[in-house]
Amino acid sequence: MSQSAPDYVMLTSVASVVVAVGALLFAVLSFRSSMKLQKKIAEANVKPDLQVKGKSSVGNYMELIMKNTGFGTAEITQMSYRRGNKTDICIAPLLSDSIMKALDNMPATYPPPFSLRAGDTIALFRFKKSPLHEGISPAQLDEVYSLLQKELREITLDITYNDVFGNRIESKSIELRDALKLG
């Protein structure tokens, strides 16, 4: 009987060590899994999502807006308009002089880098079908507005942006014909 008692004590000790090591391993793995989940949640809470959409009123105005629909600030690192082999940070140099001289317009320039907070919206440009000055007939205005629509169909907006941690979120190329629904 005395021999079985030490075997029982030894067996109990080994079992206790195995259980303790298993519990420690489980705790470490649970902690790592929890940290990964917390990191994913933190990243999701600061991830920006830029949307570029056109607004228009039939034949009266066209506007291109950019909105951050994500939860975090977008750090726009690159933004430019492209038409053929020309590229510029403002759309105005890519359009005909006759458009810029005739229409009431607001092409904004946002030289990168700049930030757009969650929920914020900016107007990248707005063209109104109203004369910039007197002396333009309604027929001439219609002609210039049609030329504007034609030229906008040929322009692409390229945007690259990061989250606040510097992680590149996305690079987008937006065809203005699609964003403004110009067909």
Topology at the third CATH level for domain 50-179: Immunoglobulin-like (2.60.40)
End-to-end CA gap in the chain: 95
Please state whether the predicted TM-score (pTM) of the whole model is above 0.75.
no
Nearest C-alpha neighbor of 68 from the set 149, 150, 164, 140: 164
Residues 13-48 have pLDDT tens digits of: 888 888 888 888 888 888 888 788 777 766 666 889
Q: What is the DSSP letter of 17?
A: H
Residue with the two structure tokens 């458009």: 99
Residue type, 155: I
Q: Determine contact, residues 87/80, Cβ cutoff 8 Å.
A: yes
Tens digit of each residue's pLDDT (9 = 90 or more) over 116-137 = 999 999 999 888 877 666 777 8
Q: How far is CA 98 from CA 35, 71, 93, 118, in A?
A: 59, 41, 12, 37
If 0-12 CB within 10 Å is exposed, 13-18 middle and 19+ buried, where does residue 132 land? middle
